[in-house]
Structure 1
Amino acid sequence: MAIMLRLKCPSCGEVMNAAGFCNCTKCGTPIRYNGWGMLQIYRMGSPVGIAAGYGIYLDGQPYGHLANKESIRIPLPMGTHTLHMTCGMTRRCEDLTFTLTPEAPAAYVKASIRMGFWSNTIHLTPADPSEMPQA
């Protein structure tokens, strides 16, 4: 399984998948993230009936959706970031805050849904690189 990069144009905000760094598909701006860190998110399999894409929000900004059993990598600047995810009517999420530094330039997260009595909650768990799908 190839793991795509989820890129966000710094000029117009367009979110796109790419196999590598490229030009924005909307405005043509070159997208380069030299010296940045990387977030990898793996969406674990969901129970029957919860196959809708999870909406990804980093620091309050949308980064598209994540399909069932999909894994993506998102380049991010060094610093502290907050990950929030939604799924259809499920807005409850145990947000995850992580910090990227030159010493620890990558963060790994597993996303799953925890069934609840009244509402479901998206559960974000820090992961070890060995737990993540590889390209």
Structure 2
Amino acid sequence: MYLWIKAFHLIAVVTWFAAMFYLPRLYVYHAMARDKGEYASMDTFRVMERKLYRGIMTPSMVAVLVLGAVLAWLNPAWMQQGWMHAKLTLVVLLVAYHHVCLIYLKQLAEDRCKRSATYFRIFNELPVLALVAIVVLVVVKPF
């Protein structure tokens, strides 16, 4: 059963990260459309952003957290290891990032967001850094 839980945890991680990579990219395009006054495009982006966040990103995050908790429960010794503490810190930061994405989603939907496309391009890179660090921590277990 452990390997099935691990497999589904990894699948959820992949889908959560895919959504975290794509949603801010949609924000880039949304901000560019806003700056050009392309209102029809902005409506399309609102729908895409909402569906991605609610239909893929949030369920994936919940699955990651639930399945990860089960894996930690099955392997309590991990909770004594430094690499796991560092990984869990990064997961908490990713959950915060996830919720910041919701703030931007609501602001963009209500035409209240003043962030630029350049800002969202930089914002889009943050989960990449977390992914690299998490993979290294889990595979190498440096401490």
TM-score (norm: length of structure 1): 0.20
Greater relative contact order (Cα 8 A, min sep 6): structure 1 or 2? Answer: 2
> Which structure carries more strand by proportion?
1
TM-score (norm: length of structure 2): 0.20
> Which structure carries more helix by proportion?
2
Larger Rg belongs to: 2
